[in-house]
Amino acid sequence: MLDQLLKKLIRNAAGQTKFVLAVIGLSTALILILSAVQLQSNYYELLNGKNNQDSIANFLVVNKSLTDQNVGSSSLSEKQLTDLKKQTFTESIGTLTVSRYKASIQSNSQLFPFYTDIAFESVPEEFIDVNTKEWHWDEQALFLPIIVPNQFLDFYNFQYSFSQNLPQLTPQVVKMVSFKVTIQGNGQSYHLNGRVVGFSNRISSMLVPQNFMGWANYKFSSTSTLRQPSRVIIKTKDAGNPELNNYLKKAGLITDADKTRFSRYRQVVDFVVNISGITGLLMFTFALLIFSLFIQLTIASCKEEIELLILIGNSPKNIGRFLMKRFFPPNVFIILIGLISVTIAQYFLANYLISKQVILSPYISLYTILAAILVLIVIAVMNYITIQKYLRLQQRTK
C-alpha cells in the first residue's frame, strides 16, 4: 500500500523510452559477456572433455627440421630435451628409441609370400594408443608383438594390393598372421616369430616393446655407445596452444602440422572471445553508468517529495529500500534474458556441431551462470551505492 503511494510520488524522471533503451543496451552487453564466457568454456570442454579426447592432438612426435646444414646430426641434445621438458605445455616427454641392427620380416606361409627389410622403434608404454594384453615380451616369449601405423595398412589395402593383385586385408586378419622376424648384427643373427597386435594412429613407425629393443640393441648393435634420440613424443594438454607452436618454430623443431591445427582455431577463438568480452565489458560499464544516472535523475527530480516523505516520518533507509525495489528487479529480468539467449544459442550450437562430429554440452556452463550472478551482484552493489549516495547528498543540500 505504502509502496503504491510512493510509486505515485516517485516517478521515472527520464521517461519510458530512454529506460527501454538502457535495458536493451544492458541486455546486449550482458549477452556479449556471457557468450564470451560460454565460448571460452566450450573451448576448454573440447580440449579436456572425455567425449573429444583427440588422441592425435594430445601426443606430438617431434623431431628436428632436416636441412642441408644439419643432415647427419639430427639428434636432439640433452639441453634441448631438458628445455623442452621445462615448457609449461609439456606434460611428459618420451624418447623414441631406434633399432641399431638390421631386421627383416618374412612370411611363414607359401600361400602368401612376402619379405621386407624393416626397422623398429620403441617408446615408453604410456605413450602408446593401443591397449592390448599382448604388448609384452621376454626371452621365453613365443612371439614378438608389433604395433603398426594405421597408414601402413591403408597404404597396403588401398594402393599396394591393387597394383600387385593381392587380396585386401582387414585389421583382424592381419593380427592373425604370424611371420618370421630376423635380426642381424654383430656377426650374429636371430630368428623369432612376430605378430601384429595393434594399429596406431599416433606414431608412424613399427613399434616393438621397449625391453625387447633394449635387449636387441645391446646384443646386436655394432656401436655400443648410446645415441641421443632424434625424435621425442610430447604429451600435452592442448596441442593447439600457440605457445607450443611458437616454441617449436623457434627451436627448429617440427611435428605433424595437422596436429597443431588447433593452434589456428585457438587464436580465432581467443580473438572472438576477447572482442566479445571487451565490447561487452565496455557496454556494460556504459549501461551501468546510464542506470546510475537514471537513479540520480529520479532522486533529483523527486527531491521535494523525498524531503517531505522524510519530514512526515519516513526513514531515508526505507525510501532507499523502496528505490532499490524500483530499480533492481528490471536487472534480474535483464540477466534472465541474457542467460536464456545464451542457453538457446548454446543449444543450437551443440546441435549444429554434432553433425560435425564435435560433441558439446547442450547446456550452458556453470561458469556462465556464475558470471551472470557476479554481474547481478555488481549491478546490485552499484544501484545500492548510487541510491544511498544521492539520498544523502540531497538531504545535505537541503
Partner 1 sequence: MKLTLDQLVPYSLKDKIKNGGSDIWNQLVSFDQGDFIKIEAPSGTGKTTLTHLLYKVRTDYTGRITYGNTVLGLCDEDGLADVRQSHLSIVFQDLRLFPDLSARENIEIKRLLTPQFSSKELVDEMAERLRVSDILDQQMRFCSFGEQQRITIIRALMQPFDWLILDEPFSHLDLGNVQLAATLINEACLQRNAGLIIMGLNKDQYFNYHRELVL
Contacts with partner 1 by CB under 8 A lie at 1-2, 5-6, 8-9, 305, 308-318
Shortest Cβ 303–partner 1 spacing (Å) = 13
Cβ 150 vs Cβ 200: under 8 Å:
yes
Task: Give the HSE-up count for residue 274: Cα atoms under 13 Å, Cβ half-sphere.
Answer: 6
SS3 297: helix
Closer to partner 1 at the Cβ: 104 or 318? 318
Closest CA to 386 of 282, 297, 306: 297
For residue 149, the one-letter residue type is P
Q: How far is the CB of 381 from partner 1 (least distance, A)?
A: 21
**Distance between CA atoms of residues 354 and 331, nearest Å:** 34
Nearer to partner 1, 242 or 316 (CB): 316
CB of residue 325 to partner 1, shortest distance in Å: 16
- In the complex with partner 1, which residue's Cβ is closer, 117 or 304? 304
- Could you tell me the smallest distance in angstroms from the CB atom of residue 326 to partner 1? 16
CB of 12 to partner 1, least distance (A): 15
String of DSSP letters for 68-115:
TTTTT--PPPHHHHHHHHHSTTEEEEEEPEEP-SEEEEEES-SSS--E
Nearer to partner 1, 206 or 319 (CB): 319
Q: What is the smallest separation between the CB atom of 345 and partner 1, expressed in angstroms? A: 46
Chain CA centroid to CA 144, Å: 37
In which order are the strands placed within the sheet that holds 90-95? 90-95, 231-236, 59-64, 253-254
CA 369 to chain centre: 21
**Residue 394 Cβ, how far from partner 1 at the closest point, in Å?**
13
Give the shortest CB-324-to-partner 1 separation in angstroms.
17
8 Å CB contact between 23 and 330: yes
Comparison of 239 and 309: residue with beta carbon closer to partner 1: 309
Question: Is residue 95 classed exposed, middle or buried when 0-12, 13-18 and 19+ CB atoms within 10 A define those classes?
Answer: middle
User: Closer CB to partner 1, residue 262 or residue 390?
Assistant: 390
CA distance 73 to 80: 14
Considering the complex, state which of residue 124 and residue 320 has its C-beta at the smaller distance from partner 1. Answer: 320
Cα(49)–Cα(51) distance, integer angstroms:
5
78 vs 304 by CB, closer to partner 1:
304
Among residues 79 and 396, whose Cβ is nearest to partner 1?
A: 396
| β-strands 188-200, 143-149 pairing | parallel
| Contact between residue 191 and residue 213 where contact means Cβ atoms under 8 Å apart | no
Minimum Å distance from CB 312 to partner 1?
A: 5
What one-letter code names the amino acid at 189?
A: S
